[in-house]
Amino acid sequence: MEKIHRVIITSENKLKIEAVKKVFSDYFSDVNFSVIKVDGKKNQPFGFDETIDCALHRCNQVDDKDAFIVGLESGIIKDHNLALNLCVIKKGDKIGIGSSPGFLIPSKIMDEVKKGKELAEAVYEVLKDEKVFRERNLISYLTKGKISRGDLAEAAVYMALLSFFNPENF
């Protein structure tokens, strides 16, 4: 694999930062990470297209053709009560898009989301669990600690890198 010098993470969310660092460090030994706060497009994106659009919006706020620019968003596919993470990675004119596995959001929580609450607020409203709310880690709660939100973010980043590692196919 070629060396990369810079990866720009477009979120100050600690979980997202750690996921990006882990994945890029799995592939490259010489990585310089920086974090840039950008404006998010929406607090809670709904639908696959809107979630990708929000992740791309994060990337498009950074003007650096030589760095990998990473935008990660958590979205809800409302018609199916499905939560997933989507990642967009840009480098120059090339774009990679990846998603995590999705999971069903319990109907009582989705009822609160449909009333206008963000997912984290809805989770707290229904579960009354401060730790789950603070860590924004519903998947860990639902899987009894087997899968974390960080695992889902990492999966999305791995998938978004596919087109960079296989340029002959994309």
pLDDT in tens, 136-148: 689 988 999 899 9
Whether the Cβ atoms of residue 44 and residue 109 lie closer than 8 Å to each other: no
Overall pTM surpassing 0.75 (yes/no)? yes
- The SS3 of residue 161 is coil
- As a whole-number percent, the residues of the chain with pLDDT over 70 amount to 95
Domain 6-104+147-169 in CATH 3.90.950.10: yes
Helix (H) or strand (E) holding 9: strand 6-9
Q: According to the model, what pLDDT value does residue 44 have?
A: 84
Q: Considering only CA atoms, which of 86, 104, 88, 105 is closest in space to residue 153?
A: 86
Q: How confident is the model at residue 19 (pLDDT cuts 50, 70, 90)?
A: very high
Tokens at 157, concatenated: 């980043």
Q: What is the pLDDT of residue 2?
A: 55
The three-class DSSP label of residue 98 is strand
SS3 137: coil
**Average pLDDT estimate for 55-68:** 95
Average pLDDT of the chain to the nearest whole number: 91
- DSSP at 46: B
Residue type at 123 in one-letter notation: V
- When comparing pLDDT for 29 and 155, which is higher? 155
Q: Is the pLDDT of residue 25 over 70?
A: yes
User: What pLDDT was estimated at residue 134?
Assistant: 67
pLDDT in tens, 75-113: 999 888 999 999 999 999 999 999 999 999 999 999 999
Confidence at residue 118, expressed as pLDDT on a 0 to 100 scale = 85
Domain ranges of the chain: 6-104+147-169
The token pair that represents 52 in the structure block: 């990708």
